[in-house]
Amino acid sequence: MAETNFPTATAYPEGAERLSEEQREAMRGEPPFAEAPPTDSRLVRALKEAGITAGLIAVLTVFFFAFKTDIAAGGLALTADPIQWIVWIAIAFVGRFVLSYLVFANDKPTVGGWKKITAATAGWPVGKVIGAILLLVALTLPFLLSTFLPSQNRYLLDLSILILTYVMLGWGLNIVVGLAGLLDLGYVAFYAVGAYSFALLATNFDLGFWVCLPMAGLFAALWGVMLGFPVLRLRGDYLAIVTLAFGEIIRVVLLNWANFTGGPNGILGIPKPTLFGLEFNRGAGSFSDFFGIPYSPIQRFIFLYYIILALALLTNFVTMRMRKLPVGRAWEALREDEIACRSLGINTVNVKLTAFATGAMFGGFAGSFFATRQGFISPESFTFIESAIILAIVVLGGLGSQLGVVIASVVMIGGIELLRNLTGLQAIFGAGFDPTEYRMLIFGLAMVLIMVWKPRGLVSTRSPSAIYKAKKKIGADLVAQGEGH
């Protein structure tokens, strides 16, 4: 007793204070005779909580699910639909039970297992291994698909092209948002500029994809600089608002400048890319004719797939190189502390402009690829939701992480597509259930869950660009701590 309650002479006075503090902590301000709260077993507690949740759902949804009004002769007819009501209550009960029993009740964090795995493989360059595997899969994907999934080959290839487009856009935006820390809500504007530059050049001057691609990139970069100039003074929320407005301005101009852009009718007949002049169609002078292989429409998709893969890899390569150059380092420093940057003699205006221009250029490349893939573009393809999705990819992936962008793109774009095909849910919710209607709801829920689970994005660790002898990873918790705004 004496040892715990009274400090020894040597530990006095700090020791005494600390001890009493510890005791107060342990009691949480309660007098020591307070009864311990009754502790149910985990199962009972989980059942109780699930029961409460189910009851709540039953009360809240009784008018929404249990009864239905239909238009009948002479007014509305009330029909009871208790089955649906009970199904929802059951879902709530089971869901809450699982959460309470498995997730909330644990004293240890649920992700402990994962932590063990990551700790065991801490010495490994996990990111590099995953990256290499993904690259290998990406490079061989068209052949894997035609070998293993010939029936859905074309659909899946098309989806992969879409995902890769977003990977590229995400990498492009990552330069602006992830590295330079400039929140850009109007990235789709550069995508649109690229697409329209290519489409207009191609249809008016009969230029091919490969000639127009760099021009489209340059145009987009130019627009990046033009946007950059007026917004350089702005930061954070204000910058976001201005870029948002810029994205909308571009779209509205495209919509209303009808004699130049075709207005809401868009631009038709955008040429397809060629392989050194070889077209992908039936007939003389085509790809299949030249190589003496039978024509198949899938060839063009494979070609498009490799184009976007090459473009995306180019974006990645340039970004990785840039990060090691002074300008890339200056981007990162700018994200951390603008005033410190200025005190080091960095021209923050130029640094911001290069970030905007570089990001915009890759957006422009992606845009012209989009135009050539679709063959038709209209302002409808460049709405704010596109910017939002690209930004979501960057944020969900973990700001500044290249691998994170890839994973987030696959999850988001692939996930949206996957939800289109969840016809299996009809078995639960009845034949009238249309999964596409709930697509955005489920999607939103998934985003919330990811942010709860990994608030700093999927890949939240960051490898320093500068390495002195040993390489060291920076953990997510530290990244979170060090946020300097």
- The stretch near another protein (CB under 8 A) out of 75-83, 230-238, 275-283, 459-467 is 459-467
Contacting residues for 324 by C-beta, under 8 A, at least 6 apart: 465
Task: Give how far Cα 404 sits from Cα of 5, 456, 457, Å.
Answer: 52, 11, 8
Question: Which is closer to another protein, CB of 289 or CB of 332?
Answer: 332
Question: Rounded to whole angstroms, how far apart are CA atoms 254 and 248?
Answer: 10
Helix residue spans in 292-383 (DSSP H) = 298-324, 326-336, 338-343, 348-374
Question: Which is closer to another protein, CB of 112 or CB of 125?
Answer: 125
Question: Rounded to whole angstroms, how far apart are CA atoms 388 and 399?
Answer: 15
Strands 67-72 and 75-80: antiparallel
Instruction: Select from 330, 357, 366, 459 the one that contacts another protein (CB under 8 A).
Output: 330
Does position 333 interact with another protein (CB under 8 A)? The reply is: yes
> Phi and psi at residue 77, in whole multiples of 5°?
-110, 135
Minimum gap (Å) between residue 392 Cβ and another protein: 22
Minimum gap (Å) between residue 51 Cβ and another protein: 46
Instruction: Select from 15, 113, 297, 326 the one that contacts another protein (CB under 8 A).
Output: 326
Residue in 254, 214, 200 with CA at minimum distance from that of residue 361:
214
Does position 336 interact with another protein (CB under 8 A)? The reply is: yes
Does position 352 interact with another protein (CB under 8 A)? The reply is: no
Does position 417 interact with another protein (CB under 8 A)? The reply is: no
Minimum gap (Å) between residue 466 Cβ and another protein: 4
Minimum gap (Å) between residue 477 Cβ and another protein: 11
Contacting residues for 263 by C-beta, under 8 A, at least 6 apart: 254, 255, 256, 257, 379
Instruction: Select from 163, 221, 346, 360 the one that contacts another protein (CB under 8 A).
Output: 346
Does position 344 interact with another protein (CB under 8 A)? The reply is: yes
Does position 470 interact with another protein (CB under 8 A)? The reply is: yes
Minimum gap (Å) between residue 471 Cβ and another protein: 8
Minimum gap (Å) between residue 456 Cβ and another protein: 11
Question: Rounded to whole angstroms, how far apart are CA atoms 278 and 208?
Answer: 12
Question: Rounded to whole angstroms, how far apart are CA atoms 333 and 465?
Answer: 12
- Provide the Cα torsion 230, 232, 237, 241; round to 10°: 20
- The stretch near another protein (CB under 8 A) out of 7-15, 127-135, 329-337, 361-369 is 329-337
Does position 340 interact with another protein (CB under 8 A)? The reply is: yes
- The stretch near another protein (CB under 8 A) out of 125-133, 249-257, 277-285, 466-474 is 466-474
Question: Which is closer to another protein, CB of 319 or CB of 409?
Answer: 319
Minimum gap (Å) between residue 379 Cβ and another protein: 39
Does position 474 interact with another protein (CB under 8 A)? The reply is: yes
Does position 448 interact with another protein (CB under 8 A)? The reply is: no
Question: Rounded to whole angstroms, how far apart are CA atoms 463 and 231?
Answer: 30
Does position 366 interact with another protein (CB under 8 A)? The reply is: no
- The stretch near another protein (CB under 8 A) out of 76-84, 247-255, 419-427, 463-471 is 463-471
Does position 479 interact with another protein (CB under 8 A)? The reply is: yes
Question: Rounded to whole angstroms, how far apart are CA atoms 187 and 22?
Answer: 53
Instruction: Select from 345, 427, 432, 452 the one that contacts another protein (CB under 8 A).
Output: 345
Q: How far is CA 224 from the centre of its chain?
A: 22
- The stretch near another protein (CB under 8 A) out of 25-33, 143-151, 219-227, 327-335 is 327-335
Does position 343 interact with another protein (CB under 8 A)? The reply is: yes
Q: Among positive and negative, which fits the CA dihedral 281, 284, 288, 290?
A: negative
Question: Rounded to whole angstroms, how far apart are CA atoms 200 and 188?
Answer: 18
Question: Which is closer to another protein, CB of 296 or CB of 463?
Answer: 463
Using CB atoms within 10 Å of the CB of residue 155, give its burial: 0 to 12 exposed, 13 to 18 middle, 19+ buried: middle
Helix residue spans in 344-434 (DSSP H) = 348-374, 384-397, 402-409, 415-420, 426-429
User: What DSSP assignment string belongs to 158-188?
Assistant: HHHHHHHHHHHHHHHHIIIIIIS----S-TH
Minimum gap (Å) between residue 462 Cβ and another protein: 7
Does position 482 interact with another protein (CB under 8 A)? The reply is: yes
- The stretch near another protein (CB under 8 A) out of 59-67, 126-134, 289-297, 322-330 is 322-330
Residue with tokens 């309660």: 30
Does position 137 interact with another protein (CB under 8 A)? The reply is: no
Minimum gap (Å) between residue 401 Cβ and another protein: 13
Q: Is the peptide bond before 13 cis (omega within 30 degrees of 0)?
A: yes
Q: What is the pattern of x (binds another protein, CB under 8 A) and - over residues 285-314?
A: ------------------------------
Does position 347 interact with another protein (CB under 8 A)? The reply is: yes
Interface residues toward another protein, by CB under 8 A: 326, 329-330, 332-333, 336-337, 339-348, 462, 464-468, 470, 472, 474, 478-479, 481-484
